[in-house]
Structure 1
Amino acid sequence: MKHFRWTLCVLLIGWTSAFAQVDYKIVTASERGTYIQIGRDLAKWVGQPAKINLEALPSNGSAENVQRLRFEPGVKLALVQSDVYQAFVDQAAAGNVTAGKLISPLRVMLPLYDEEIYFVTRADSPLTYIHELRDKKINVGPVGSGTALSATTLYRLMFSTPLPEANASYLSNEEALRKLIDDKTLDVVVIVAGQPAKLFSDMAPEARQYIKLLRRDDKAPETERAESTYFPATIHSKSYPAWMAEDVPTLSVRAFLVTYNYDTQATQNNLKRFAESLCANFDNLQSQGHPKWQEVQLKTPPLGKGWKYYAPVEKTLQSCVAQRGRPAQAAAPVPVTKSCNQQEKLLGLCRM
């Protein structure tokens, strides 16, 4: 009997230690953006049930997130825009060794949702459409942010030339909006955020006296060129009823949950347990998390060239989909973007 109790005790201790709380971090974006809310949802509804203490960290955005995921201790997950991820892949394919070292060991855990791109200008601006951006003073967001990469890539796609450095600024969203309204040294502020975004939700009804959003014109050839990489989208007035009177057609970029290609058994087990918790608590995310979770599906569709899933998590999620009775469906590959010197700067490659 004593031997039985001793054996049981050893087994219980082993089981408890196998599922001991672990501390992980996820890098997101600004405090008033959508990414950090998604990160906090993952911490609450997925991390806690899996005994993973997941801390959602603010950042400048996707390009910085790639580097922090690679090098910052404790960072095991990152939220990354599709065009930023693809830009690193393109730079690596073009022979940039630093880009290759950064991106080659990263792996996709799950495609998430599309993020809307907001082109903000003054209410009294003569500008109406996105394709009227040429030669304008544009704030693209901080260096290292996904917004900066998206804004400059869009400009290059639409006008077949890089955004002139003399016309670009790299301020935070809040700083840029102040300059747009107060001293009028900017013409347009580009912001990437899934709706509803806190930055815009916090705006009072009086905001419509000061700002408006530029619209997508599907008849413009510039729009067709932009849609080789980005996706049509709509910013809905119901997302910001305090100051938006009507829906505004725009463009969007896809968000991905990304990790590293960990080969240690303990980390693999923890991330598999995270994926199991994601599956088990997915309904909670969709019903109680940020509204963007309602656009997410537990699927692992084919990825673009140079992209790979994290195999242990991919198998777990595919099993989850099968158990839920919703077989995975193929999706279009992530489009490929061309590289340029301005991209290298915004990806942080020329500073390393």
Structure 2
Amino acid sequence: MVPRILAAACAAAAFALCPATHAAVDYKIVTASERGTYIQIGNDLARFVAPDADIALQVLPSKGSADNVNRLRYDTGVKFAIVQSDVYQAFLDHAAEGNAEAGRLIRPLRVIVPLYNEEIYFIVRADSPMQYVHEIKGSRINVGPLGSGTAMSATTIYRLMYGEPMAEGDARFMTNEEALVKLATDKSVDVVAIVAGQPARLLAEMKPEARQLVKLLKVDPAHPATRAALRTYVAATIRSASYPNWLENDVPGLAVKAFLVTYDYTYKPTIEHLTKFARALCQNFGVLQTEGHPKWRDVDLTLPASLGTGWLYYAPVERVLRNCAPAAPATPATPPPAAAKPGACGQTERVLGLCRGP
């Protein structure tokens, strides 16, 4: 009875004597695979940040970064996306070359904050003679589904290392789970490329018996092919502590930066909610780092002064975040990967979802 009496009293007083209540708006964030890192980052934002911004944040799986760019641009309710830097840059490059669809997709997008470096894994059978990433030339490689960030990274790294795209007959576009099964059983795949911040659930859940089936290729930073890839990607260490059932020692690898992005919204209520989201991110950042995914400990809310040509922050959020953390020297922008010729419908455009034909 007491709650009902209080509710009636509040209604009678038109809330004059009662705490204000705010109905949460329904927003969505697109991430990646259900067993990847992005979806866990999205879940952390929905749990620890969005409620303080009066946002009910629905976390959606997706095919990956290129798919996320499309869905952020066109899907109703999607206000946030996590996107890899090489995918974002590839869209900008194609837009600059005159690809109208790439321009429509990427130009209205804005960066909220750089997140962390995502490790890139090249996995082969345990009995494979390959030991290093630069030895994958001519192999049958699963690069992940079309539209995924993994597909963008794997095909770009291959092109940077060897100066030519992967042969169409060598590329496979299965999910990570499907490809790992194929790798270990019917051997129709030689290499499986996976992009995921460590510890990646899919790999962390491997049993000790996995060592008898698959192994991780190492990166040799001194090799000329690797040096070519390092002009766009960064060196990383894949730690055995992240995958104790699988790795006996740390393994040198590659990584790509992940970004939290939004759209250049001008509708006042949306601006207000995204501004509140930025304040809540500042206020709850410590909780994210202690209770969220371990990758939050690699995130710095100090925004680089410059993101590179064509990259823009979302201004209302930028103003909040620049007052959230002390200023720091700008970090160098990631050099853009080589783009295809204008008008071409090659491997990169298909990966980005910019081609409608075969």
Question: How far did residue 111 of structure 1 move?
Answer: 0.1
Paired residue secondary structure (1:59): coil
Q: Which sections of structure 2, spanning at least 5 residues, go unmatched?
A: 1-9, 341-345
- Deviation at 1:180? 0.5
Deviation at 1:163, TM superposition (A): 0.4
Partner of 2:329: 329
Cα distance in 2 for partners of 1:13, 1:98 equals 51
Q: Secondary structure at the match of 1:233?
A: strand
Q: Deviations over 1:183-227 (max 9, x none)?
A: 111110000000000001111111101010000001210011001
- Report the counterpart of residue 266 of structure 1 in structure 2: 269
State whether residues 271 and 313 of structure 1, in contact with CA within 8 Å, keep that contact through their aligned partners in structure 2.
yes
Amino acid of the structure 1 residue aligned with 2:197: G
Kept in 1: contact 2:32–2:62 (CA 8 A): yes
| Alignment match, 2:83 | 80
Aligned to 2:92: 89
Instruction: Identify the residue that residue 159 of structure 2 maps to in structure 1.
Output: 156
Q: Secondary structure at the match of 1:114?
A: strand
Answer whether contact 1:81 1:146 (CA < 8 A) is retained: yes
**AA matched with 2:137:** R
Provide the rounded CA distance (Å) in 2 between the counterparts of 1:98 and 1:304. Answer: 21
Aligned residues: 341
How far does residue 50 in structure 1 lie from its aligned partner after superposition? 1.8
- Secondary structure at 1:48 match in 2: helix
User: What SS class does the counterpart of residue 34 from structure 2 fall into?
Assistant: coil
Residue 216 (structure 2) aligns with? 213
Distance 2:331 2:81 in 1: 22
Query: Aligned to 1:276, which of 275, 279, 289?
Result: 279
Cα offset, 1:70, TM superposition: 0.5
The structural deviation recorded for 1:335 is 1.8
Task: Kindly state the Cα deviation for residue 12 of structure 1 after the two structures are TM-superposed.
Answer: 8.2
- The 1-side partners of 2:228 and 2:317 are apart by 35
Aligned residue number for residue 317 of structure 1 = 321
Aligned amino acid, residue 292 of structure 2: G
1:231-278 deviations in Å (ceiling 9; x for gaps): 000100000111210011010000000000000110000000000000
Provide Cα deviations, 1:70-109, integer angstroms capped at 9, x if missing partner. Answer: 0110100000000000000000001100000000000000
Q: Which amino acid aligns with 2:258?
A: A
Work out whether residues 219 and 252 of structure 2, in 8 Å CA contact, stay in contact via their aligned partners in 1. Answer: yes
For structure 1, list consecutive stretches of 5 or more residues without a partner in the other structure: none
Paired residue for 1:285? 288
Contact map agreement 1:304 1:336 (CA 8 A) in 2: no
Distance 2:204 2:122 in 1: 16
Cα displacement string for residues 133-161 of structure 1 (whole angstroms, at most 9, x for unaligned residues): 11111000000000001000000000000
- For the residues of structure 1 that align with 2:48 and 2:101, how far apart are their CA atoms? 36
Which position in structure 1 is the counterpart of 2:46? Answer: 43
| In 2, Cα distance between equivalents of 1:194 and 1:222 | 24
- CA gap of 1:139–1:20, structure 2 versus 1, over 3 A, is same
1:308 is matched with: 312
Query: Which letter maps to 1:55?
Result: Q
Query: What is the SS of the residue equivalent to 1:116?
Result: strand
Residue 320 of structure 1, CA deviation:
1.4
Deviation per residue, 1:106-138 (Å, 9 max, x gap): 000000000000000000000000000111110
The separation in 1 between residues aligned to 2:141 and 2:249, in whole angstroms, is 24
* Alpha-carbon separation, structure 2, partners of 1:14 and 1:264: 27
Provide the alpha-carbon RMSD of the alignment.
Answer: 1.7
1:346 is matched with which residue? 351
1:318 touches 1:328 (CA, 8 Å); kept in 2? no
Report the Cα distance in structure 2 between the residues aligned to 1:39 and 1:12, rounded to whole angstroms.
Answer: 37
Query: TM-score of the superposition, structure 1-length normalised?
Result: 0.94
**Cα distance between partner residues in 1 of 2:337 and 2:195:** 18
- What CA distance in whole angstroms lies between the structure 1 residues aligned with 2:24 and 2:237? 41
1:135-150 counterparts in 2 under 5 A? 135-150=138-153
Amino acid paired to 1:314: E
Q: Which one-letter code corresponds to 2:333 in the other structure?
A: P
SS in 2 for 1:309: coil
The one-letter code matched in structure 2 to 1:298 is: L
Q: Distance in 2 between matches of 1:11 and 1:150?
A: 56
SS for the counterpart of 1:43 is helix
Q: Which residue number in structure 2 is paired with residue 52 of structure 1? A: 55
Is residue 73–residue 105 contact of structure 2 (8 Å, CA) maintained in 1?
yes
- The alpha-carbon deviation at position 14 of structure 1 amounts to 12
The 5 A counterparts of 1:183-222 are: 183-222=186-225
Paired residues for 1:2-13 under 5 Å: 9=14
Kindly state the Cα deviation for residue 304 of structure 1 after the two structures are TM-superposed. 1.2
Contact 1:157 1:225 survives alignment (8 Å): yes
Pairwise CA distance, 1:176? 0.4
Q: Equivalents in 2 of 1:14, 1:149: separation in Å?
A: 50
Letter of the 1:31 partner, please give it.
E
Corresponding residue SS for 1:53: strand
